[in-house]
Every structure is written in structure tokens, then in C-alpha cells.
Amino acid sequence: MKQNIGIGAPKKIKFNQELQLKKGVALPEFELMIETYGTLNQAHSNAILICHALSGNHHVAGRYTEQDKYPGWWDTMVGPGKPIDTNHFFVVGLNNLGGCYGSTGPGSINPKTGKLYGSDFPVVTVEDWVQSQALLADYLEIPQWAAVAGGSLGGMQALQWAIDFPERLKHAVIIASAPQLSAQNIAFNDVARQAILSDPDFDQGFYQEHNKKPRNGLKIARMMGHITYLAEQGLGMKFGRELKHGGLQYNYDTDFEVESYLRYQGDKFSDSFDGNSYLLMTKALDYFDPAQAYGGELSEAVKRIQAKTFLVSFSSDWRFAPKRSKEILQALIHAEKAVQYLEVESIYGHDAFLLDDPAYIQGMQIYFERINQEVNHVAG
Amino acid sequence: MKQNIGIGAPKKIKFNQELQLKKGVALPEFELMIETYGTLNQAHSNAILICHALSGNHHVAGRYTEQDKYPGWWDTMVGPGKPIDTNHFFVVGLNNLGGCYGSTGPGSINPKTGKLYGSDFPVVTVEDWVQSQALLADYLEIPQWAAVAGGSLGGMQALQWAIDFPERLKHAVIIASAPQLSAQNIAFNDVARQAILSDPDFDQGFYQEHNKKPRNGLKIARMMGHITYLAEQGLGMKFGRELKHGGLQYNYDTDFEVESYLRYQGDKFSDSFDGNSYLLMTKALDYFDPAQAYGGELSEAVKRIQAKTFLVSFSSDWRFAPKRSKEILQALIHAEKAVQYLEVESIYGHDAFLLDDPAYIQGMQIYFERINQEVNHVAG
């Protein structure tokens, strides 16, 4: 029976060691905020790492208090009786380095100066995140993940894991992702960054010191991003040309429901998210390109992979379209790797990977049940 | 032989009469900036009105000086030997009311106050524009246009003309357009507006009085708009993941060529365009919905049309996709109207309507040659 996970609590883990970054600099020490669900089995073989997308965090499932309005961002997928079944798996969510939910990032104290990092926090990459997550696996005494899974930017981390640490995961679950961003993806990200960077309250990235926030920039960035995560059809069905006040207003307040909805989403996001973290996350997206180190050949890059791979895409996702998942599929087939691919019919665009779609949930359920058989029932 | 039109000159026409607007207010008087090419024939039957899109104006073709870097915005289409052949047609371009290229708009003096209109300039609609253009036709002594033609928002004006003044045009040429905006279209427009409205230099729309300009807001709006006018494929072929400086910079300056290009386009646009006009033009787009006055039935709205209609769409245009042109096509067929439809294969998205695509140019050439036969060779 499908159940919700109940009340959970995050915890912060301190790593008293240097982390060398792709940029060529090192973090002298760092902390990762994590949240876990379920129980690690005796063989330490049933652990699943959940990697988050642009605005996600360690709070994957459940609630902190009974009063919480919303559960964690992947509560549809993670819990007792759900596809990533916490009766069988030990599930680990984390906030990535550079984030704004408790892990070391622009809002942390720079130990070298005793002041907030602000925009002195270095640009980090998907490879850097995977390195930090490997140190987390060491800390948790997990020699090999049963699976590393994520959607969008989270899927990129799962792919990078499979390439960089072939022996440390049995499965890579890569959902609504891409082997690299397109020019159009990069272009949208840069508009978002320009909106934040040009906000007068950005203060060259040291706004927190001055108790300010690039709120307008974040709002514009999120409004635009939000449109691109949704499909035209889904947006049309939800809002159409529905008016907010019956008639046209002939001014620049609110005419259409879709405007009201997007502005609300933008405001909400600018309350909860951090400008510097948004800049960092979009750069990590832009820079991701695992084929690059292998002469631009993705099929070369994936040759190292030992994990089995499960790819999922959504028909109406135009930010990370099915054709992008198929590029990963083709590279894996070319390299003669074990791979399965599921394309889900959906009108909800990129956001579909967060939603409760029956075909998607069932596909994940079947795949993770197989993983459960592999890791928990080896002898039987 | 195809030739360029040579050196032209705009001219301003003053209308000393009230123009009642859909908003419920009136402009006490107004001016329209126009530019004409070719010669009006004796029967006054060879005139073609060119309606502009969001950022266009009256300068449709040719150059003002030999030194001008670029000709008018539809120079590919208008000129001697070109599809809209100025050897045969008298072509009229204008800047719409509310624009920033010489026609009465937010940058004009409000005769009631003696000060600049700024954001006191009323929100105008496609219907209002068509009314003002009908007064322009009266002034030019053109009882009936041989054709009203335009792309995007310009196509919307051509459709509105055919509905509102059925006897005053022989042909409506509606290119890369739509019978109304989708929720996604409106959403993108609202992000653009929010970027301008939240720019601290916007000053509630009275920035010109204070010698300011919402430059950042305009830049963000244009960068985002520009992405949506291009197709993913065209953008990918032009820029891909090409780097500006060889390696990654690990900062927020410029990594990718596409960023550099977009920011340049954004800066150029914020130099030449006006914030209040941008707000107005996007509202005119959002409000356009000719079916609305006919119970939401487009096939009812088009029943009044007497003009023959030529519809053109471009395969990769996702802002005004072929399916939107086909909605107009279906409504016209349903109402048993004369209509032709051309869908051009293109990788250049919405912008294709401004480009020199052979199939598009040829389609237009054939159509306008027929119009030429109709209006210039009636007896022969």
C-alpha cells in the first residue's frame, strides 16, 4: 500500500577536507545538508542517491511538521509502497554545494575572510557535485549505490556519476535530461542570469551583507523559466485566455489568469531562493558536457559506464526533449551498454518529471522493483 | 530584374480629429509617420498597406542615405521587381499609434497637459490601429487597398482590416500570425512587461521627463523575445555550444557565443526602442481576439470578410506555429471564403517572415503578381 513517509528531519554533515574544483580552486572545507529515508541494510547495498534539479534540495519526501503545506519535491516517487520504496531502500537526498538550503554556498561564511562568500563562492560544476557526493557516500559507508537517480539537472548528475565512478553505482536513472544543453537552453539561462545580475539590489553579489536581495531579477528569471518548464498545451488547458477580472483592464496590472499565476510563482520563488545560487545552478547546467573530455564523442564517454541505465523522457518536454534523451540512449547502445528507455506521453512539459503520471510512476515502480530484487534478495 | 528601392523619406501626417479608442477614451488628435514607395495609379486601386510587427515601423524598404547600414525591415519583399513590386504598386508603410518612430505615442506631447504622455498614453488595440489606418486611407484617397499585408502582429492587423472594413481591401495577406495569442504567448509577453515595469529607471512610465530609460528591462525583454522568435534548430546551427574565449571562464561574463550575440541584440534594441511602446505593443498582441465579438467563433467573425486571403506560415515557428494559421484557414473555409495557404519549410522560426527564403519569396511573388493583374490590367 502506498503511504506517505511521515515526519522527517534534515541533518548537516561537515567535511573537514579540501575539495578541489574544476575551476582550479579549492573549497577548504564544506558542509552538505542531507535527509535520509528508510534503513540501510546490513550489506550497505540498498542505498539510493537522489540528485536535485535547479531549484531542488535535500527535502525529497515527507513533511517536517504536520502543518507543512507541501511535502518534499519528489514525494510522489519516494515513500513506503512508492516506486522508490522506503520499505526496501535507504534513500539519501542532499542539497548541492552552492545551493541555498543549508549546504555550503554563497550564503555561507568564507573561512578565509570570516565574511559571507557572496559572489566569491566559486562556480561549481556537475563533476564537482559528483565528487562531493562520493565523499558523502564514503561518510555514509556506502561503497556502491543501488542507484543514483534524478530529473533534469539531477539526471545529469546521475550520468556523470556513472562515467566518473563506474564501480560505485549499480543503476543510473536519468529522467527528462540531456547530454548537454542546446544553444536555446543556454540562451534562456543567460537571460535569467542577466535579469539577476542587472538587478540594482544584486550589489555585485554581496547583497546579503547589506540585507538586500535581487528580488525582481529572481522573479523575472523564475517567471521565464517556469514558462519553459511547461508545455504550451498544458498551459493552454490550465489557463487559456481566462481573464482575471471579467473584462480587459487596458492597463499593466493583471488581465489574464496566466499572468497572475506566473507573477505569484515568481514572487514565491524570489522569497525562498537565492540569487547567487540561481546563477551557480544555471552555470552548472550550461557547463555540463561529459562528451567533451572524450573528443566530443558521447559514445566514448559512456564506454566507462558499468551501471545499467534507465532513461525517461516526456513527449511535450521542449526544454529537455525526448530527442535529447535518445542521444544518451544511442550513445549507450553504440557502446553496448545495458539501457532501457521510456517515453511518457504527457502534456505537462519538463515539469512532468515531478508529477504523478500513472505511466511514469508505473515505469519507475517496475524498474525499482527490479533493483530491489537485485540488492535485497540476492540469496533468495 | 530585382532592384533595391533607393533613397526614401518618411513623412508625418497630422489628423486634427478625435480618435475614439477601445479603452473608452479618445485621442484628441494624432499624427502618423508614413513612408510610401511607387506611384498611385489613376484609379487609386494599386495601393498596398504594410502593417508592422512588434518592433517594426514605417521604414519598410530602401535606405535614407547611401551610408545606412541596413535598409527597411521588409526590403526583401518590397522594391522594384520584388514580390511587392513598386513598379506596379503604391506601397504605404506606417508607424502605428503608440509607437516610438514618429507617430503619436508615449514620447509625444499630450495636448491636454503640454507634457510628454509617458504612461498616460492609452493602451491601444489592433482595432484602434485599423481605425487610424482607415483614416490614413481616407487622407491618401484610397477607397480600397489592393492588399493589406503583414507578418506576426502585422498579420493580425490585416485580418482585423478584412473583418472591420470588408469593402476596403481586395486581399488580406496574413503571414506567421494567429487568430489570438496562446496562454504561453501571453505569459512570455508578461515576463517582458514585468522586466520593464520593475526596472528602477522606469519611473512609473515617466522616465523620459527625467532623461532616463528602462534600459535593463528592455534588454531582458528583447533577449527573451529574441530566443522565442528563433527556432531551436536555427539557433543550434548558428551558435551550437561555441565558446567565446576558447575555454570556460567560470564566472558570469561571457562563456558562449550565443550569450554574446543575445546580449548585443538586447543592448542594440534598448538603444533604439522605447519601454512604454514595448508595453503597448505587447498588450495589443495579448488583446487581439477578433472572434470574441462573435461569441468566440472565428468562423462567425470571418463571415463578413469580402477580401481574398493569403496565409503563410513557417514550419519551425513555435511562437506563431503553422497550426495557428490553420485555425484561420479552417475558419475561412468553414465560412466559404476564398483563401490560399502556404506552409514554408524553414529552420528560422518566427523570424523567417523577415528573411529571404526562396520558397516564401516565390509564393509571395506569385500571389502579388495576381493582385497586379487584377488591379493594373483590368481592361487588358
Q: How far is A165 from chain B (nearest CA, A)?
A: 24
Residues A90 and A119 placed together within one structural domain of the fold: yes
- What residue in A sits closest to B197 (Cα-Cα)? A252
Residues, chain B, total?
Answer: 380
A82 C-beta neighbours (distance < 10 Å), count:
22
Tell me, yes or no, whether A173 lies in a domain: yes
Confidence of residue A380 (pLDDT cuts 50, 70, 90): very low
Q: pLDDT tens, A206-237?
A: 999 999 999 999 999 999 999 999 999 999 99
Tell me, yes or no, whether A5 lies in a domain: no
Tell me, yes or no, whether B220 lies in a domain: yes
Cβ burial of B379 (10 Å; 0-12, 13-18, 19+) is: exposed
Confidence of residue B380 (pLDDT cuts 50, 70, 90): very low
| Residue in A206, A241, A317 to test binding to B, most B beta-carbons within 10 Å | A241
- Of the listed B75, B85, B317, B351, which one is catalytic? B317
Find the helix or strand (DSSP H, E) in which B131 lies: helix B126-139
Confirm if B110 and B147 have CB atoms less than 8 A apart: no
A155-171 in b/e form (b: 16+ CB < 10 A) is bbbbbbbbbbbeebbbb
Residues A233 and A361 placed together within one structural domain of the fold: no
Mean pLDDT of A62-90: 96
Q: pLDDT tens, A152-185?
A: 999 999 999 999 999 999 999 999 999 999 999 9
3-state class of A310 per DSSP?
strand
B309, pLDDT greater than 50: yes
B5 vs B105, higher pLDDT: B105
Half-sphere exposure for A211 (CA within 13 Å, toward CB): 0
3-state class of A245 per DSSP?
coil
Q: pLDDT tens, B48-94?
A: 999 999 999 999 999 999 899 999 999 999 999 999 999 999 999 99
Contact A220 B194 (CB under 8 A): yes
Residues A65 and A144 placed together within one structural domain of the fold: yes
Residues A207 and A344 placed together within one structural domain of the fold: no
> Hey, what amino acid is at B262?
L
Domain boundary among A282, A304, A337: A282
Tell me, yes or no, whether B347 lies in a domain: yes
SS3 readout for A20-73: ECCCCCEECCEEEEEEEECCCCCCCCCEEEEECCCCCCCCCCCECCCCCCCCCC
Domain residue limits at A79: 11-180+289-376
Q: Tell me the average pLDDT of chain A.
A: 96
Is B152 a known active-site residue?
yes
Q: pLDDT tens, A102-148?
A: 999 999 999 999 999 999 999 999 999 999 999 999 999 999 999 99
Residues in chain A within 8 Å Cβ distance of B197? 252
Mean pLDDT of B343-358: 97
Residues B266 and B331 placed together within one structural domain of the fold: no
Tell me, yes or no, whether B210 lies in a domain: yes
Residues A190 and A278 placed together within one structural domain of the fold: yes
Tell me, yes or no, whether A298 lies in a domain: yes
- Of the listed B152, B177, B270, B346, which one is catalytic? B152
Q: How far is A52 from chain B (nearest CA, A)?
A: 21
Domain boundary among A282, A307, A323: A282
Distance CA B185, CA A259 (A): 11
Confidence of residue A379 (pLDDT cuts 50, 70, 90): low
Residues B221 and B166 placed together within one structural domain of the fold: no
Count of the separate structural domains present in chain A: 2
Is A210 a known active-site residue?
no
Confidence of residue A8 (pLDDT cuts 50, 70, 90): confident
Confidence of residue B378 (pLDDT cuts 50, 70, 90): low
Q: Tell me the average pLDDT of chain B.
A: 96
Mean pLDDT of B223-250: 94
Contact A241 B180 (CB under 8 A): yes
Residues B313 and B348 placed together within one structural domain of the fold: yes
CATH code (residue A39): 3.40.50.1820
CATH code (residue B232): 1.10.1740.110
The predicted structure's pLDDT at residue B280: 97
Cβ burial of A361 (10 Å; 0-12, 13-18, 19+) is: middle
| Residue in B21, B120, B191 to test binding to A, most A beta-carbons within 10 Å | B191
The predicted structure's pLDDT at residue A343: 98
Mean pLDDT of A187-210: 97
Confirm if B199 and B217 have CB atoms less than 8 A apart: yes
Distance CA B244, CA A4 (A): 49
B170: its cell numbers: 481586395
- Of the listed A152, A177, A270, A346, which one is catalytic? A152
Residues A324 and A259 placed together within one structural domain of the fold: no
Residues A118 and A143 placed together within one structural domain of the fold: yes
Residues A42 and A190 placed together within one structural domain of the fold: no
Contact B220 A191 (CB under 8 A): yes
B185, pLDDT greater than 70: yes
Confirm if B25 and B151 have CB atoms less than 8 A apart: no
Mean pLDDT of B210-235: 95
Contact A197 B252 (CB under 8 A): yes
Mean pLDDT of B303-311: 98
- What residue in A sits closest to B256 (Cα-Cα)? A186
Tell me, yes or no, whether A4 lies in a domain: no
- Of the listed A128, A274, A317, A351, which one is catalytic? A317
| B312 bridge partner residues | B175, B342
- What residue in A sits closest to B181 (Cα-Cα)? A241
Share of chain A above pLDDT 70, in %: 99
Residues B193 and B110 placed together within one structural domain of the fold: no
Q: What are the distances in angstroms from CA B137 to CA A97, A297, B173, B289?
A: 64, 61, 17, 24
A239: its cell numbers: 489557463
B42: its cell numbers: 489613376
Tell me, yes or no, whether B159 lies in a domain: yes
Is A317 a known active-site residue?
yes
Instruction: Return the CA Rg of chain A.
Output: 21
Q: How far is A75 from chain B (nearest CA, A)?
A: 28
